[in-house]
Chain A
């Protein structure tokens, strides 16, 4: 190709070769604008400052909480013995004695000073924690609480824990009243404990132990398996376990901690645990009222969310259906009626679902009625708009045909219009049912019923991330099932329409585009 030919082509296609400057640089200009806007936003929202303040360690811990849980033994230093304590609502039940906490018992002598109060405390703690299971309780000093306090210190002999070891995978913490040995893999560090004053390592610390000031608390990390704090009065260990603790039965249930086979045989043929009802009823009640997971409440709230989306969409479709005929230019010849109905739809749509939800929460009180009314109002507007657009796009020939054989106006609508639009209407309603299941979750958080509020509350406490994940899984499951039902029904509906007339599919798609 020679230069003439090139010039010739260029002359014939000026729009391709001599484009205006702004058109030629449209892409870089667009990208530049986007970058500038990004800078503006990061200034407007002060992104840098927020990211700097963010607590990323917390993020990791929270994420781990979604699929695991921690158990925290507190090992407290006493003068010549130790006490092991678990948090009050421990996931191990009221009398925990896990095999990964080793205990060495010995008979020791200790002094009890002011009598009644400490004696009771000793009584209690010895029962709860540091007594070996099955150790004779009669060995405890009998200190009746109503006796007047003897002023003289008293010496008692008692069976108590003198050394404890906590095992965390390949790590171990060995604790004695004045010495703590922390081992992770091949490395190990010994801390000297001066009670109530300092924690001193004998060797330089490896990078998995942090001590901010000499003598202060040492923070030990075992990775995902857990962490520990060596303080001058106690050692606190967090051991992380994979999975959801007590998912079926909580620690108060008589079925708690039993293997599956035993629970099954108890339910089928065991003697009644609670004489007033059968074991199956008791087990079911225990599952529903599981204190940690609140299955009954979660399922109820989930059902509320589903109901909100369903009723809201169905009612909106029912109301929007006749109104759409009023709004369609080609069905109702009155311009005033068209305009009034269309503006009414716009109003319902533009007052946001949030505003409706807040209004109705005030009106009906928190609960699914508020949420379903909000969905109903918003979607009457949206569906009405989409329906009337579908009506305005119908093929006029069918109507003319029906009219030409002398049908009444109502018959014309029924046989000339409805068969064309009904599949479109139904498929749009199904799209909205699908998307409303999702939005019902969100508006629930402002009090409009459903699982949204429960989810939000579980998140705000920052301790129930496993519950959050459980609810998220349930929501995903529900959304997945309804997506499939709705797309199956839509396929069936669209299959019944003759393969021609793609316009309908298109308008159904545009609805999908607006919501998905």
Chain B
């Protein structure tokens, strides 16, 4: 063993050396870009954090020790109390204040059978989400064919429909809700309208992308036997895209449950409103009950929708029509 045994790269041919040099240049430039990008990201992040901290009501490091306090405040008097709050059972701590008025707000179906308040509110929120998904997807379904390049020949119609869907999608839901709140006064209808309008845009876009990737052979066959536009769409396109539409519908439903909860919190009814009130007033047992109910509902909706989507489109979910 001697020093000469150390591996030494074979001498490169002149062409090889050029390739080598170019490769090194390329690698160096790439590294520069990566480092530059990371440095930019770091600067932007620290700048943003500083800005956020400056403009916040409480400063991060001042407030941090008290975050735990807030969770400690959430501890109920005893751990059965949230259960009572959830099922509207009278509390032994009832002192006539709003904090312990659990039996208030029961929705009686008959003399003795009632739906607890928060369950009723949750059903309301779910109904807002489902109904507006239904309305939104109906309009999205009608519009998506007009936006699809392989179905609608008129460029202007296509252009107009796509821009319409884009604007409707980007328009903040909260503005639509606020506007209708001014007209209809408080209640769930503004939330339904806001979520529906947003859903039209979001689902319309998803739908027309599916339609554009559909197999055109059935449509061609129908065209050959003289079917009109509606027949071609209904019998040639709709059957192959329907499972994917359903799957997107379910995904949207999941999103809309969350959206309607948030809109509820700003005054459009449903469980979101109850949650905001109980957190704001410091009603710990009620808060725990609502968070628990909301958590379970969202998990249940997600699981159910995942299961149904799996049944509808199988493992192929969202891979549809991408050429695979």
Within B150-198, which residues are at the interface with A (CB < 8 Å)? 167, 169-175, 178-179, 181-185, 187-189, 192
- Among B130, B254, B272, which residue has the most Cβ atoms of chain A within 10 A? B272
Classify chain B: how many residues form its interface, as a range: 35 or more
**Known contacts A47-B189, A311-B48, A446 near B251 by CB under 8 Å:** no
CB distance from A128 to the nearest CB of B (A): 33
- Specify which of B173, B248, B298 is in contact with A352 (CB 8 Å cutoff): B298
Contact code string B86-111 (vs A, CB < 8 Å = 1, else 0): 00000000000000000000000000
- Among B44, B51, B187, B266, which residue has the most Cβ atoms of chain A within 10 A? B266
Asked if A355 contacts B294 (CB within 8 A), the reply is: yes
| Interface stretch of the complex, out of B5-13, B18-26, B56-64, B218-226 | B56-64
Asked if A311 contacts B261 (CB within 8 A), the reply is: no
Bound together, the chains give a CA A358 to CA B279 distance in angstroms of 7
CB distance from A431 to the nearest CB of B (A): 13
Within A474-516, which residues are at the interface with B (CB < 8 Å)? 475-476, 479-480, 483, 502, 505-506, 509-510, 513-516
Bound together, the chains give a CA A505 to CA B324 distance in angstroms of 11
Within A273-327, which residues are at the interface with B (CB < 8 Å)? 300, 303-304, 307-308, 310-311, 314-315
What A residues does B319 contact at CB under 8 A?
502, 506
B70 within 8 A of A: yes
Asked if B170 contacts A480 (CB within 8 A), the reply is: yes
A45 within 8 A of B: yes
Asked if B134 contacts A62 (CB within 8 A), the reply is: no
**Known contacts A367-B58, A443-B262, A472 near B70 by CB under 8 Å:** no
The total of chain A residues at the interface (CB under 8 A) is: 73
Within B43-82, which residues are at the interface with A (CB < 8 Å)? 44-45, 48-49, 51-53, 55-58, 60, 63, 66-67, 70
Asked if A352 contacts B127 (CB within 8 A), the reply is: no
A120 within 8 A of B: no
- Specify which of B49, B124, B169, B276 is in contact with A358 (CB 8 Å cutoff): B276
Cβ-closest chain A residue relative to B302: A350
B217 within 8 A of A: no
B84 within 8 A of A: no
Bound together, the chains give a CA A418 to CA B70 distance in angstroms of 40
Asked if A367 contacts B52 (CB within 8 A), the reply is: yes
Asked if B182 contacts A459 (CB within 8 A), the reply is: yes
A56 within 8 A of B: yes
Asked if A310 contacts B48 (CB within 8 A), the reply is: yes
Number of A-B contacts (CB under 8 A): 193
- Specify which of A62, A303, A460, A514 is in contact with B51 (CB 8 Å cutoff): A303
Asked if A472 contacts B134 (CB within 8 A), the reply is: no
Asked if B173 contacts A442 (CB within 8 A), the reply is: yes
What B residues does A459 contact at CB under 8 A?
175, 178-179, 181-182
B291 within 8 A of A: yes
CB within 8 Å of A: which residues of B? Answer: 41, 44-45, 48-49, 51-53, 55-58, 60, 63, 66-67, 70, 124, 127, 130-131, 134, 138, 167, 169-175, 178-179, 181-185, 187-189, 192, 202, 205-206, 248, 251, 254-255, 258-259, 261-263, 265-266, 272, 275-276, 279, 291, 294-295, 298-299, 302, 317-319, 322-324
Give me 19 A-to-B residue pairs in the complex whose CB atoms sit less than 8 angstroms apart, sorted by A's number.
A44-B124, A59-B179, A303-B51, A311-B49, A350-B295, A351-B294, A358-B265, A359-B70, A364-B58, A366-B56, A368-B56, A369-B60, A370-B56, A449-B55, A456-B266, A459-B181, A472-B171, A506-B318, A514-B255
